[in-house]
Amino acid sequence: MSQAPAQFTPLDGPVRTTCPYCAVQCNFDLHVSGDRVVKVAPTKACPVAKGTVCKKGLAAAADLTQPERLTSPLLRHGGELVPVSWAEAMAYVRDALTPLLAERPSAVGVFGSGSLTNEKAYLLGKFARVALQTPHIDYNGRYCMSSAAAALGRTVGLDRGLGFPLSDIGLSDLILLVGANIAETLPPIMQYLSAAKHRGGIVYAIDPRATTTARVAGHHLAPRPGTDGILALGLLHLMKNMGRILPTAPAHGMVEVLAQADLYPPQRVAHECGIKETELLLLAKRYAEATKPLILTGRGAEQHAHGTDTVQAWLNLSFLSGHFGKAGGGYGTLTGQGNGQGGREHGQKNDQLPGGRSLRDSKHRAEMATFWGVTPESLPQPGHSAQNLLRACGSELEALIVVGSNPVVSAAGAGQITDHLKALKHLIVVDFLPSETARLATLVLPGAMWCEEEGTTTNLEGRVQRRRQALNPPGEAKADWQIICELAWAIGRPHGFTYAHFRDLQEEFFRATKGGKADYSGLSADRLDRASAQWPIKSASAPDTPYAYAPTYPTTDGLATLHLPHFTAPPPSRQLLLTTGRLGNQYQSGTQTRRNAALRAENTVQIHPETAREYGLKEGEIVTIRTSHGETQLPTQFSPNIRPDTLFLPFHWPETANLLTNPELIDPHSHMPSFKATPVELLRLPAESAAEHRGKRADFPFFAVVPLEK
Ligand SMILES: Nc1nc2c(c(=O)[nH]1)N[C@H]1C(S)=C(S)[C@@H](COP(=O)(O)OP(=O)(O)OC[C@H]3O[C@@H](n4cnc5c(=O)[nH]c(N)nc54)[C@H](O)[C@@H]3O)O[C@H]1N2
Ligand SMILES: Nc1nc2c(c(=O)[nH]1)N[C@H]1C(S)=C(S)[C@@H](COP(=O)(O)OP(=O)(O)OC[C@H]3O[C@@H](n4cnc5c(=O)[nH]c(N)nc54)[C@H](O)[C@@H]3O)O[C@H]1N2
Ligand code: SF4
Ligand SMILES: [Mo]
């Protein structure tokens, strides 16, 4: 059974929608003529960006007409991916999955995404639990802000990235950006930093590189990668010495956390972080004097094998100095993906049910089972988290369905992960472009791009907004929600996956969250047309919740619990550490942005000129970077702005950053891989192999596409 794509009649006049890319979720007006977007116009009415957007947002409309757009299903046949009808594609799904599910549902896994709208994320979780009945669903948000989510969850029982409106940033008198390069990654937020500076506030960027953000901030501290938690313990030690401990509220664990801080005097902290003691003392003095200090962590602090404890250490500092949860001050994490926040609330996580409910909680299981009309016993228990799920492919898992992620580029140890994906019997990928993961698939299903379907997203401050449809998807492409329903029909489980209209799914989703921590049940498309709203929104007549972290907290006794963070000393200073991250002009695994002519960028390894001299390297020379997990060759880019003991690689290109990262090392609490600190070897490449490398092109044998631009 297969359905025609839902036809949508384009509206007269501009369509206000949200950007497909990052978690700011800027609004802009799309001017449509025929089947094309002819203009993208930022709007001052945008509650977040106030009329600003970044280059990626402005360029996004060009992706809609990309010559490589997937416009029909592709099935692997004789080694090649060839176009087939939806009926043939669904017959493959039936034949592939039905026998596996009959024997062992846990042989089938699902990998979702923080790029999916709330409705799709909800439906994908429901599909895994109710239709497939597999425990194994997780998503790329695990690679994103999961360490901050884990720390917030275990401390105050709630995970909303920013518990306050973004504009509060402008009220702070000391802002610490810990591992966040927002000038390149969340540019419209720079206006709030400027507002704070305008009022006399001080802004610090804490980053092993003096980034564009650091230059605008005006104050920079460059600790060795992976030592941010130790820095926070050093600050707590000094706050205690200065008599600045004034907890936000009573909490468990305070005595132990304060006792631990005694072990981190300035001398030790400066040594382990690789900074000057005077720099630490000055920062501590400023923190002590500030009335509204705000700590914001980004991926630089969080994407470590001890990321949860790192965030915990900063959260403890904020809480014990009395700022957590207060307007203009406190702690927040800067969520990354377009729906990174909503995507982590409604059931794509391995242990989660909609509305931020837990699959481990019998009450929550019973609530959702009743809602879905199934028995609580039929709902699986939590399965593997993202990295382990991918590592189980080809052994425990025989089939995987990927919706909105490109783990061949973005997973840690991508070389090993690629081998696991190749060992699957069935790899079904839903994407709108031939990503590197789609190219390995046995079946590719063509999805709709952002403004080709309806939905809602939740931005980094928990603000829910409508993403409106402006166009029909091209060719045979369909909205992801329709595709997920068709997968359920194909395996003979249509019950609960048949919606006459998108609105029926959306209303079901809002209702499903009722009573959960992330309660959206007061929302409707009409209410969102009047104004965006920050969750929880508990009924149609209830107001929204700009401030999420006021005591008492949603924990068993209403109190916070400060956990003791644990850190080991960093590796010796002569060990080169690779850190990875983003460039302003590229997005994530690059599927969209590498193809976009307006968004050129260089794939190089950033190295300090002193280090380059030590290794006898010239600028632009191709070097080998090697770890025990893989190696890559890239040209050098000299940068006096990076620590001499650190190398930086963007992860937007295949066969680079993640060939080097460790596929096995994950944070014990959040299961975040160690993306930001990998010990590496740096080698000069012999001249003849460097010449050969220059001539090499990406080689993807499966179907003919225009070669990727590098
Ligand atoms: N242009 C662009 N914008 C994006 C994205 C994109 O791909 N491209 N992705 C979106 C997503 S999903 C996310 S998660 C956000 C991420 O946004 P950010 O967190 O700002 O992004 P990153 O570049 O990964 O890391 C930020 C900084 O951390 C520094 N860093 C590395 N290691 C360490 C460390 O150990 N400690 C400290 N203190 N700093 C360290 C890096 O040098 C880098 O400048 O961006 C979102 N916006
Ligand atoms: N070394 C290193 N690795 C990292 C990071 C790092 O800093 N360093 N950062 C990590 C982080 S924070 C993140 S968030 C991940 C992200 O990494 P990925 O999970 O790979 O995310 P994207 O590149 O956004 O992949 C999205 C894929 O899905 C498609 N897509 C986008 N939207 C949709 C949609 O709505 N529907 C469908 N069907 N397809 C869609 C795109 O075309 C693309 O192919 O990477 C992580 N990997
Ligand atoms: S990428 Fe982020 S900052 Fe840029 S326009 Fe889109 S939502 Fe706004
Ligand atoms: Mo992310």
Ligand 3 binding pocket includes 187 (Cβ within 6 Å): yes
| Same domain, yes or no: 190 and 207 | yes
Which residues of 337-462 form beta strands (DSSP E)? 352-353, 357-358, 399-403, 426-431, 443-446, 455-458
Amino acid 102 reads A
In total, the chain counts a number of residues equal to 710
Among 27, 42, 32, 35, smallest CA distance to 12 is for 32
Q: Which residues fall within 8 angstroms of residue 13, CB to CB, at 6 or more apart? A: none
| Same domain, yes or no: 49 and 79 | no
Protein residue closest via CA to atom 40 of ligand 1: 300
Residue the block writes with tokens 């000069």: 684
Read off the tokens for 115. Answer: 């790029």
The pLDDT value recorded for residue 358 is 97
Atom of ligand 2 nearest to the CA of 658: 1
| Same domain, yes or no: 140 and 48 | no
| Same domain, yes or no: 231 and 301 | yes
- Which one of 289, 310, 333 terminates a domain? 333
Q: Ligand 4: distance of its center to the CA of 115 in Å?
A: 10
| Same domain, yes or no: 480 and 423 | yes
The whole-angstrom separation of Cα 40 and Cα 14 is: 9
Q: Could you tell me how far CA 4 lies from the centroid of its own chain?
A: 32
Atom of ligand 2 nearest to the CA of 582: 7
CATH code (residue 659): 2.40.40.20
Atom of ligand 1 nearest to the CA of 580: 31
> Residue 552: is the preceding peptide bond cis (ω within 30°)?
yes
Residue 398 lies in a domain: yes
Which residues of 366-492 form beta strands (DSSP E)? 399-403, 426-431, 443-446, 455-458, 463-467
Atom of ligand 2 nearest to the CA of 115: 32
Grouped pLDDT means (10 residues each) for the chain, 710 residues: 66 89 96 91 94 93 94 96 98 98 98 98 98 98 98 97 96 98 97 96 98 97 98 98 96 98 98 97 98 98 98 98 95 98 98 97 98 98 98 98 98 97 98 97 98 97 97 96 98 96 97 98 97 97 96 95 94 91 96 92 96 96 95 96 97 94 97 97 76 43 27
The whole-angstrom separation of Cα 521 and Cα 351 is: 21
The whole-angstrom separation of Cα 416 and Cα 292 is: 46
Protein residue closest via CA to atom 22 of ligand 1: 581
Ligand 2 binding pocket includes 632 (Cβ within 6 Å): no
Q: Ligand 2: distance of its center to the CA of 675 in Å?
A: 14
Read off the tokens for 189. Answer: 């937020």
For the chain, the domain total comes to: 4
Distances from the Cα of 481 to the Cαs of 7, 295, 485, in angstroms?
14, 37, 6
The pLDDT value recorded for residue 353 is 98
Work out the burial of residue 265: count CB atoms within 10 Å of its CB; fewer than 13 is exposed, 13-18 middle, 19 or more buried.
Answer: middle
Read off the tokens for 137. Answer: 């669903």
User: Residue 611 phi/psi, 5° resolution?
Assistant: -65, -40
Name the residue of 16, 17, 24 to mutate for ligand 3: max ligand atoms within 8 A of Cβ.
24
Which residues of 459-604 form beta strands (DSSP E)? 463-467, 533-534, 560-561, 577-581
Atom of ligand 2 nearest to the CA of 407: 20
Ligand 2 binding pocket includes 299 (Cβ within 6 Å): yes
Ligand 2 binding pocket includes 580 (Cβ within 6 Å): yes
The whole-angstrom separation of Cα 345 and Cα 71 is: 31
Atom of ligand 2 nearest to the CA of 589: 23
The pLDDT value recorded for residue 108 is 98
The whole-angstrom separation of Cα 682 and Cα 430 is: 37
Q: Ligand 1: distance of its center to the CA of 580 in Å?
A: 8
Protein residue closest via CA to atom 6 of ligand 3: 57
Among 575, 645, 562, 566, smallest CA distance to 264 is for 566
Atom of ligand 3 nearest to the CA of 55: 4
Q: Ligand 1: distance of its center to the CA of 54 in Å?
A: 16
Work out the burial of residue 686: count CB atoms within 10 Å of its CB; fewer than 13 is exposed, 13-18 middle, 19 or more buried.
Answer: exposed
| Same domain, yes or no: 206 and 329 | yes
Q: How many CB atoms lie within 10 A of CB 250?
A: 11
The whole-angstrom separation of Cα 484 and Cα 403 is: 9
**What is the rounded end-to-end Cα distance, in angstroms, of the chain?**
41
User: Residue 572 phi/psi, 5° resolution?
Assistant: -55, 150
Q: Ligand 3: distance of its center to the CA of 341 in Å?
A: 15
Q: Ligand 3: distance of its center to the CA of 52 in Å?
A: 9
Ligand nearest to the CA of 143: 2
Residue 372 lies in a domain: yes
- Partnered with residue 577 across adjacent β-strands are 646, 679
The pLDDT value recorded for residue 709 is 30
Name the residue of 25, 56, 181 to mutate for ligand 1: max ligand atoms within 8 A of Cβ.
181
Residue ranges near ligand 4 (ion) with Cβ within 5 Å:
144, 336
Ligand nearest to the CA of 189: 3
Q: Ligand 2: distance of its center to the CA of 343 in Å?
A: 13
User: Residue 108 phi/psi, 5° resolution?
Assistant: -110, 130
| Same domain, yes or no: 322 and 343 | no
Distances from the Cα of 256 to the Cαs of 89, 262, 316, 561, in angstroms?
58, 10, 11, 11
DSSP state of 132: I
User: Residue 467 phi/psi, 5° resolution?
Assistant: -105, 110
Protein residue closest via CA to atom 15 of ligand 1: 336
Can you tell me whether residue 256 is helix, strand or coil? Answer: helix
The structure's pTM equals 0.96
The pLDDT value recorded for residue 706 is 25
Range of the domain at 664: 577-699
Residue 201 lies in a domain: yes
Residue the block writes with tokens 């983003």: 582
Protein residue closest via CA to atom 6 of ligand 1: 587
Protein residue closest via CA to atom 38 of ligand 1: 179
Name the residue of 279, 582, 647, 649 to mutate for ligand 1: max ligand atoms within 8 A of Cβ.
582
Residue 278 lies in a domain: yes
Q: Ligand 1: distance of its center to the CA of 628 in Å?
A: 24
- Which one of 284, 318, 333 terminates a domain? 333
Ligand 3 binding pocket includes 666 (Cβ within 6 Å): no
Residue 561 lies in a domain: no
Q: Which residues fall within 8 angstroms of residue 42, CB to CB, at 6 or more apart? A: 26, 27, 28, 29, 49, 51, 52, 53, 57
The pLDDT value recorded for residue 34 is 86
CATH code (residue 38): 2.20.25.90
The pLDDT value recorded for residue 2 is 62
Condensed to tens digits (0 to 9), the pLDDT of residues 483-499 reads 999 999 999 999 999 99
Handedness of CA 338, 341, 342, 346 (dihedral sign): positive
Ligand 3 binding pocket includes 57 (Cβ within 6 Å): yes
Ligand nearest to the CA of 140: 2
| Same domain, yes or no: 306 and 389 | no
Residue 431 lies in a domain: yes
Residue the block writes with tokens 């790029």: 115
Ligand nearest to the CA of 348: 2
| Same domain, yes or no: 245 and 360 | no
The pLDDT value recorded for residue 570 is 85
Atom of ligand 2 nearest to the CA of 587: 23
Strand (E) or helix (H) holding 149: helix 146-156
Residue 629 lies in a domain: yes
Ligand 3 binding pocket includes 84 (Cβ within 6 Å): no
Amino acid 559 reads L
The whole-angstrom separation of Cα 524 and Cα 506 is: 8
Residues 274, 573 contacting (CB under 8 angstroms): yes
Condensed to tens digits (0 to 9), the pLDDT of residues 263-309 reads 999 999 999 999 999 999 999 999 999 999 999 999 999 999 999 99
Strand (E) or helix (H) holding 258: helix 254-261
Which residues of 364-494 form beta strands (DSSP E)? 399-403, 426-431, 443-446, 455-458, 463-467
Among 210, 206, 202, smallest CA distance to 234 is for 206
Q: Ligand 2: distance of its center to the CA of 145 in Å?
A: 13
Ligand 3 binding pocket includes 460 (Cβ within 6 Å): no
Residues 506, 499 contacting (CB under 8 angstroms): no
The whole-angstrom separation of Cα 407 and Cα 438 is: 10
Among 409, 412, 417, smallest CA distance to 393 is for 417
Name the residue of 178, 185, 314, 639 to mutate for ligand 1: max ligand atoms within 8 A of Cβ.
185
Q: What angle do CA 211, 215, 221 make, to 5 degrees?
A: 70
CATH code (residue 475): 3.40.50.740
DSSP state of 425: S
Ligand 3 binding pocket includes 189 (Cβ within 6 Å): no
Atom of ligand 2 nearest to the CA of 410: 47
Protein residue closest via CA to atom 40 of ligand 2: 404
DSSP state of 57: H
Instruction: Name every protein residue with a CB atom under 6 angstroms from any ligand 1 atom.
Output: 22, 144, 178-182, 184-186, 206-209, 211, 225-226, 228, 298-301, 336-337, 579, 581-582, 584, 586-588, 648, 676-677
The pLDDT value recorded for residue 356 is 97
Read off the tokens for 302. Answer: 């969080």
Protein residue closest via CA to atom 8 of ligand 3: 26
Atom of ligand 2 nearest to the CA of 657: 1
Q: What does the DSSP assignment read for 521-538?
A: TT--HHHHHH--EESP--
Q: Which residues fall within 8 angstroms of residue 354, CB to CB, at 6 or more apart? A: 122, 125, 126, 345, 346, 347, 368, 509, 512, 513, 516
| Same domain, yes or no: 528 and 406 | yes
Among 17, 24, 21, smallest CA distance to 57 is for 21
- Which one of 479, 512, 534 terminates a domain? 534
Q: Ligand 2: distance of its center to the CA of 196 in Å?
A: 32
Q: Could you tell me how far CA 426 lies from the centroid of its own chain?
A: 26
CATH code (residue 319): 3.40.228.10
Residue 190 lies in a domain: yes
| Same domain, yes or no: 463 and 597 | no
The whole-angstrom separation of Cα 162 and Cα 545 is: 12
Residues 457, 465 contacting (CB under 8 angstroms): yes
The whole-angstrom separation of Cα 373 and Cα 493 is: 13
Handedness of CA 404, 389, 366, 378 (dihedral sign): positive
| Same domain, yes or no: 586 and 525 | no
